[in-house]
Amino acid sequence: MATRFEQRLAFLAEPAQHSLLRAIRRGIEKESLRMDGDGLLSRSAHPEAFGSPLCHPSITTDFSEALLEFITPVSESIEETLAELDSIHRFASGSLGDEMLWNASMPCRLPASDDIPVAQYGSSHSATMKTRYRLGLGHRYGRKMQTIAGIHYNFSLPPALWDALFQLQGGEGKADKDFITDSYFALIRNFRRYSWLLIYLFGAAPAVSKCFVNGQSHNLQEWGEHTLYAPYATSLRMGDLGYQSNAQKNLDICYNHLDFYIDTLRNAITTSHADYERIPANEQLSSGLLQIENEFYSPIRPKRVTDSGEIPLGALRRGGVEYIEVRCLDVNPLLPLGIDAQQVRFIDAFLLFCLCQNSDLCDDDANAAITDNLLKVVNEGRKPGLTLTGEAGEQRLLVEWGESLLDDIDALAEQLDRAHGETHYRESCAAQRAKLRNPALTPSARILDEIQQRDGSFFHFALRQSQEHAERFKQSPLQPSEVSRFAGLKVESQAQQAEIESENSGSFEDYLARFYQQYKAL
């Protein structure tokens, strides 16, 4: 009998499915710090040219006023997605004056923690909520940790492909939300099992400036006066220096079923944590282990677009999973956009592999192995002879396991190439296989080589790369029509913010209470 993987691969190989594969939808959210000409974090307000960070569809902020987030629309075209991300970069670079974008995950030179400005969104209740949430993050994890930048990759299959997969499994008619949701959760479980491969292949944060660590305990080595690194590290952002939390380490979020996922996250949000009860009430949303869903730091999230005022868990309960958000991607300082088409194509093939592969439910032992494998690859992924814990509990050489996974990922890439009438997907897989066989080709190894051979420190390497990228964007200004488009988005976003502020009613505390009441009603 054919395995689930063989069955789905054969199904996707049918010419009738090619148009559906071409309709895969994706979007990119890319973060970049603003810095001054000396590479110090900007402490200026959100630039006027960017409009309202509360309402602008393409340019907003994350934790800090200085941490910009660029958002592309959902698209079926990789080329269109990256072209729009490029346009946003060119617009931003041309609007920053003496400032520049820091194009790396680990941050530029930082001031004292209290001098890192928290993002501001206006005077509406929703704006106050966003800022207070960030104040809470600063208290819980430190403002410096919140200056780390990353890339989020949003991915979804078209409804017609879900219908076809539903019928393949014996269903009749259109796929219901339970089938789609369960399938996305199967994808997520496999993603968590194999995401170490993405960290190895695309991790681009093997070093950091000492000013970021600021006395925090670590196992890194010194490189000169200003740099800390690990010789075989891939992505320090994804390890103990990055988006990790001691309070969250005992948080057992279950990905076996939507109801379990919702219940475990809801309990974390509605259960007070003793350490957080000491934080001033007006500088966090609540004393819960998590203030809201976004505080749960996970390499991947199930998502659904929310209605106005709706909580994310409420949207998932209402309509099921609509798309997934990959969150473990570093900003690659070797690339002007931090990501390129070759990486996007591999991620597409990887996610399809995760969807097609059999996906057992996870237990405590499996979750422990997933965490251990990820941290091993984060800290020493390029170490010769590194072994990981396989799905049966056995030890497997990273290179051998990676080659085996790439054999199956390449089979999906072949179908994507047939659907698009090209060879780019398999070429991307070949490039990743070369990295497995020669770790010197990985971004993390190339970055350390650049530091050693040319720059002498992580800061000077990332500053040089950022300056070169900024010059590239400025040498390719936008067409007048594009300039007008961004000017229109600025005005529209400011008008939307003003309208939201004019509709304020009641106290913020009442607004917040109504928001949290939704968790009790789940």
Contact criterion met (CB below 8 Å) for 229 and 223: yes
pLDDT at residue 289, rounded to an integer: 94
Q: Which residues pair with 223 in a beta bridge?
A: 227
pLDDT at 1 over 90: no
- Name residue, tokens 């917040």: 512
pLDDT at residue 242, rounded to an integer: 67
Structure confidence at residue 252 as a pLDDT band (50, 70, 90): confident
Q: What is the spatial distance between Cα 407 and Cα 120, in angstroms, rounded to a whole number?
A: 47
pLDDT at residue 253, rounded to an integer: 85
pLDDT at 150 over 70: yes
How many CA atoms does the CB half-sphere of 520 hold within 13 Å?
A: 6
Q: What is the spatial distance between Cα 311 and Cα 288, in angstroms, rounded to a whole number?
A: 16
- State the amino acid at position 201 in one-letter form: L
Structure confidence at residue 217 as a pLDDT band (50, 70, 90): confident
Alpha helices in 157-310 (DSSP H): 159-168, 177-202, 210-213, 258-270
Go through the domains of the chain in sequence order and give each one's CATH number.
Answer: 25-156+176-520 (3.30.590.20)
pLDDT at residue 248, rounded to an integer: 67
pTM, to two decimals: 0.96
pLDDT at residue 249, rounded to an integer: 66
Encode pLDDT of 160-175 as tens digits.
999 999 999 999 999 9
Encode pLDDT of 179-214 as tens digits.
999 999 999 999 999 999 999 999 999 999 998 987
The SS3 assignment for 46 reads: coil
Which of 279, 296, 268, 240 lies closest to 140, judged by CA? 279
pLDDT at 425 over 60: yes
Encode pLDDT of 453-493 as tens digits.
999 999 999 999 999 999 999 999 999 999 999 999 999 99
Encode pLDDT of 106-124 as tens digits.
999 999 999 999 999 999 9
Percent of the chain with pLDDT over 70: 98
Q: What is the spatial distance between Cα 237 and Cα 240, in angstroms, rounded to a whole number?
A: 8
Output b/e per residue, 392-407; b: 16+ Cβ within 10 A: eeeebebbebbeebbe
Residue 282 has a CB neighbour count (10 Å cut-off) of 10
Query: For 228-235, what is the mean pLDDT?
Result: 96
pLDDT at 61 over 70: yes
Alpha helices in 421-475 (DSSP H): 424-437, 443-450, 458-474
Query: For 407-430, what is the mean pLDDT?
Result: 98
Average pLDDT score, the chain: 95
Residue ranges of E strands in 81-189: 100-102, 151-156
pLDDT at residue 216, rounded to an integer: 75
How far, in Å, are 43, 73, 161, 328, 382 from residue 154 at the CA level?
A: 30, 10, 17, 12, 28
pLDDT at residue 271, rounded to an integer: 93
